[in-house]
Amino acid sequence: MADLDTPASRALDPAEPLRDELAELEVVASDLVYDGMVWDVRSDTVRYGGREIVRQYIDHPGASAIVAVDEDDRVLLIQQYRHPIRHRDWEIPAGLLDVPGESPLETARRELAEEVDLVADEWRPLVSLFPTPGGSDEVVHVFLARGLTAVGHAHAREAEEADIRIEWVPLADAVTGVLEGRLRNGILATSLLAAAETLRRTAAASASFAGAAE
């Protein structure tokens, strides 16, 4: 077993799939630097490589996000103001994991209804990602939602969500926007690429099965 107090330097095993590795290093001290409304900032002293290093990061509750695709392979995108980047960027519906006991899927269902007034019959885990692993412990769980219908009433919205813009865009066009650098939201980019590839593989598998059955 590798010594967790020193950086790993071993060759990859070609028989094992490539994956991120959990590293439970000794945290010598952990201090709350800022107690925020949505997330906190912590300063940790960690024993690493035979010495102690200090790292400050956002302590985040995590989030769920949704790639909602309709029967015409259009994806639902939302646009709203984001003050840190001074942009109204295009995103996918998402929300914080801030309800005790609520699973990421339950959060995704709730956010789809509250943010864009939709419910979905089909839910599929798509990808989980660390948006900014150098500065935050946030994990975002992304789900693919299909079989979409409108809820019976619109939810009240405020602040940045009060003038939210909603558009249905062909998934292929949205992916092109990511690849051409016109859509730069990280969660959106990863999620759209994952959705497009997942749907491509699903279609290919269905075609292969149909061909074999003939």
Residues annotated as catalytic are 161
Residues 23, 102 contacting (CB under 8 angstroms):
no
Paired strand residues for 172: none
* DSSP assignments along 62-102, one per residue: -EEEEEEB-TTSEEEEEEEEEGGGTEEEEE--EEE--STT-
Give the C-alpha separation, 191 to 143, whole Å. 9
Give the C-alpha separation, 116 to 145, whole Å. 13
The separation between CA 140 and the C-alpha centre of its own chain, rounded to angstroms, equals: 4
Q: Mapped to the 3 state alphabet, what secondary structure does 94-158 carry?
A: EEECCCCCCCHHHHHHHHHHHHHCEEEEEEEEEEEECCCCCCECCCEEEEEEEEEEECCCCCCCC
